[in-house]
Amino acid sequence: MKLTLEIWRQKDANDKGHFETYELDNVRSHMSFLEMLDVLNQELIEKGEEPVAFDHDCREAICGTCGFVINGVAHGHMKRNTVCQLHMRTFNDGDHLVLEPWRAKAFPLVRDLIVDRSAFERIQRAGGYISARTGSAPDANSILIPKEQAEAALDFAECIGCGACVASCPNGAAMLFVGARIAHLGFLPQGQPERVERAKAMVAAMEQEGFGACTNYTSCEATCPKGVSIVGIAKMNKDYFNAKLFSGGNLGGKE
């Protein structure tokens, strides 16, 4: 299989960046997309050029490290997938593919297809957890959780933090990511005591990082490799609303 790849090249955050075009022969159908890029990089190195920098690690669609945009779609055209598990058999001989990094104000570019997602770290540190001091937990079966509820929590906990939701959103919003954590912990009895504070803290951190607002495009849900539902956003809004209404704050209209 032969491919034409148009790839975003940018040395660092200060560089202007540009597209570079590469022709690649001998692409095998059983390769993953990243293995195809490995082959390209080997060729570039052998020719004395700099390889394309891209983030990746587990290559099993679970660590959330990899991700870029292929022909305008985050993680490419296959649903519920990451680029590491996207296989070349789903492409055609002669395809022309444009590869770009996640583009969002809150994700500054590092190099080529790599962006800085540390904004996600700061949001999670603001309150995306249950404070459970080691050693203080009761017997695990003393907290009964209906199966459906545990499964719903897990559906949201599956978020891999890749950032595709932000990259897909015309507003560069991180609400699916934040909503996923809030819904995961909010579905569990253990998560209730800090539920209100969690929503307030995470939403405040999210806004501070410069992520956009949600206007219900739902492209985040469509490209999420784990199929996280926008119900998480509704849960987040509800918790945030309750936080503002019932914990002495206001809705932001007046000081």
Binding mask 44-83 for another protein (x = CB under 8 A): -xx-xxxx-x-xxxxxxxxxxx--------------xx--
Write out the two tokens for 133.
């001091």
254 binds another protein (CB under 8 A): no
E strand or H helix at 22 = strand 18-24
Between residue 184 and residue 223, which ones bind another protein under the rule CB under 8 A? 184-185, 187-188, 190-191
The residue behind tokens 């070349």 is: 88
Q: Is 240 helix (H, G, I), strand (E, B) or coil?
A: helix
Q: Choose which of 1, 73, 110, 222 interacts with another protein (CB under 8 A).
A: 110
Stretch that binds another protein, among 17-25, 34-42, 95-103, 206-214 (CB under 8 A): 34-42
DSSP annotation of 80 reads: S
Judged by CB, which is closer to another protein: 56, or 173?
Answer: 56
Tell me the number of residues near another protein by CB under 8 A: 79
Between residue 127 and residue 186, which ones bind another protein under the rule CB under 8 A? 127-141, 143-147, 150-151, 153-154, 157-158, 160-161, 184-185
Give a three-class secondary structure readout of 152-198: HHHHHHCCCCCCHHHHHCCCCECHHHHHHHHHHHHCCHHHCCCHHHH
Q: Choose which of 9, 17, 22, 38 interacts with another protein (CB under 8 A).
A: 38
**Residues 155, 221: contact at Cβ < 8 Å?**
no
Specify which residues 82 forms β-bridges with.
none
Judged by CB, which is closer to another protein: 106, or 126?
Answer: 126
